[in-house]
C-alpha cells in the first residue's frame, strides 16, 4: 500500500487528481477519499488488478465480456456487473472462501464494495444476509457502508416486520456505523434504491428502530434518523408531526432537537 498517500485530501476536480494517486487507485493499493476519485477510476483496469490480487484469472472470458460492455451502463450498475462477474468466477472454485475473504479485506474500498454486493447475489436467508453484511456495515469507508445496506435492501423491503425485528439489536449497538445501518437500510424512500412501499404507507412499523436513536450522540446517526422521518413525511406528515411532537416534550438534548428539526423540513416547506 502507498502509505504516504493515505492522509491526502481529495482533489476538488477530477483533472486535479495527481497521477501518482490515480495510479495507486487503479492498482487497488489505496481507497478513494471522495466522489471525484471514485468517478475517475479506470474500472476495467482496477477490476483486472483486483482479480489478480485475490487469485482470479484477470483474463477470464466471463470477466472480459463484462468489462467490454461497462460503458453501456450507468456508473453504479457498472460496479454491480463487475461484482457479479467476480462472484460467478469464484463460485466454482474450491478456494471460494479464501477468495471472498481476500476481496472483503482488500485495500481498495471499491473491491470491498464488490464483496458486499456478493451478499445480494447469494441465496441466504434474510437473517444470514444481515449476519454476512455486518462487517461491511462497520467498514471504515463510507462507500462500503453505503453498499452494505443496498445489498440487503430488497430483502428488507420484502419483509419489513422481520427486518425490524432482526435490526432492533443493531439500533442499540455500540458502533454508530451499525446503528446508522438500522436506520438507513429501512428508510421508506432512500437514495439510489427501490422505495419500501409498506413503510411509505405505514411508517410506524419502523418505529422500534427509530426510538432508540432519538437522542443518539452521533451526527452520522442523527442525519439518518432525520432523513428517515423526512421520507415518511412525504406520505404520512401527520404521523411525523406526532412523533416529533412526542420526542420534543420536556427537556430534550440537542441531538433530539436537531433530529426533529431536520425531520420536518419537508413539512415546513410544503
Instruction: Confirm whether 203 is domain-assigned.
Output: yes
Mean pLDDT of 93-118: 97
What is the mean pLDDT of the segment spanning 173-191? 95
Per the domain annotation, does 146 fall within a domain? no
Place of cell 439489536: 169
pLDDT confidence tier of residue 1, bands split at 50, 70 and 90: low
- Under a CB-based contact definition with an 8 Å cutoff, are residues 213 and 178 in contact? no
Give the C-alpha distances (Å, rounded to integers) separating 259 from 46, 224, 229, 245, 255: 40, 9, 9, 12, 6
| CA gap 260, 264 in Å, rounded | 6
Residue 210 lies in a domain: yes
C-alpha 53, offset from chain centre: 24
DSSP code of residue 220:
H
Residues 6+ apart with CB under 8 A from 55: 95, 98, 99, 102
Q: Which of 42-46, 89-93, 193-197, 265-269 has the lowest mean pLDDT?
A: 265-269
- 270 pLDDT more than 60: no
CB contact at 8 A, 83 and 60? no
Residue tagged 458486499 (cell numbers):
116
- Residue pLDDT, tens place only, 235-251: 999 999 999 999 999 99
Task: Please state the domain count of the chain.
Answer: 1
pLDDT digits (tens, 9 = 90+) for 47-98: 999 999 999 999 999 999 999 999 999 888 999 999 999 999 999 899 999 9
Range of the domain at 227: 152-270
For residues 162 and 95, give the distance between their C-alpha atoms in angstroms, rounded to a whole number.
33
Asked if residue 143 is part of any domain, the answer here is no
Residue 252: exposure state from Cβ atoms within 10 A (0-12, 13-18, ≥19): middle
- Does a structural domain hold residue 202? yes
Helix ranges (H only) for the chain are 19-27, 35-40, 43-54, 61-68, 75-91, 96-104, 109-121, 126-137, 142-151, 153-158, 160-167, 176-184, 197-201, 207-210, 219-233, 237-247, 254-263, 265-269
Residue 215 lies in a domain: yes
What CATH number does the domain containing 235 carry? 1.25.40.290
Residue 227 falls inside a structural domain: yes
In a domain, 78, yes or no: no
Whose grid coordinates read 432512500?
190
Amino acid at each position: 500500500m502507498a502509505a504516504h498517500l493515505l492522509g491526502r485530501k481529495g482533489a476538488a476536480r477530477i483533472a486535479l487528481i495527481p497521477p501518482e494517486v490515480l495510479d495507486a487507485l487503479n492498482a487497488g493499493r489505496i481507497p478513494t477519499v471522495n466522489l471525484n476519485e471514485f468517478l475517475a477510476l479506470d474500472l476495467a483496469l482496477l477490476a483486472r488488478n483486483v482479480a489478480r490480487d485475490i487469485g482470479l484469472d484477470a483474463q477470464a472470458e466471463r470477466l472480459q465480456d463484462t468489462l467490454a460492455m461497462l460503458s453501456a451502463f450507468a456508473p453504479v450498475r457498472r460496479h454491480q456487473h463487475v461484482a457479479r462477474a467476480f462472484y460467478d468466477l469464484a463460485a466454482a472454485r474450491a478456494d471460494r472462501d479464501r477468495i471472498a475473504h481476500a476481496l472483503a479485506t482488500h485495500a481498495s474500498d471499491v473491491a470491498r464494495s464488490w464483496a458486499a454486493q456478493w451478499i445480494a447475489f447469494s441465496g441466504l436467508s434474510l437473517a444470514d444476509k444481515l449476519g454476512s453484511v455486518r462487517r461491511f456495515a462497520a467498514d471504515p469507508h463510507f462507500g462500503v457502508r453505503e453498499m452494505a445496506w443496498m445489498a440487503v435492501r430488497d430483502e428488507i423491503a420484502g419483509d419489513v416486520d422481520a427486518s425490524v425485528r432482526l435490526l432492533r439489536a443493531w439500533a442499540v449497538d455500540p458502533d454508530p456505523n451499525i446503528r446508522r445501518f438500522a436506520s438507513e437500510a429501512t428508510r421508506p424512500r432512500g437514495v439510489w434504491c427501490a422505495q419500501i412501499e409498506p413503510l411509505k404507507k405505514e411508517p410506524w412499523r419502523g418505529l422500534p428502530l427509530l426510538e432508540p436513536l432519538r437522542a443518539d450522540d452521533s451526527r452520522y446517526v442523527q442525519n439518518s434518523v432525520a432523513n428517515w422521518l423526512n421520507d415518511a413525511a412525504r406520505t404520512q406528515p401527520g404521523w411525523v408531526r406526532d412523533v416529533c411532537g412526542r420526542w420534543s416534550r420536556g427537556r430534550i438534548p440537542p441531538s433530539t432537537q436537531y433530529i426533529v428539526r431536520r425531520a420536518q423540513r419537508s413539512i415546513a416547506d410544503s
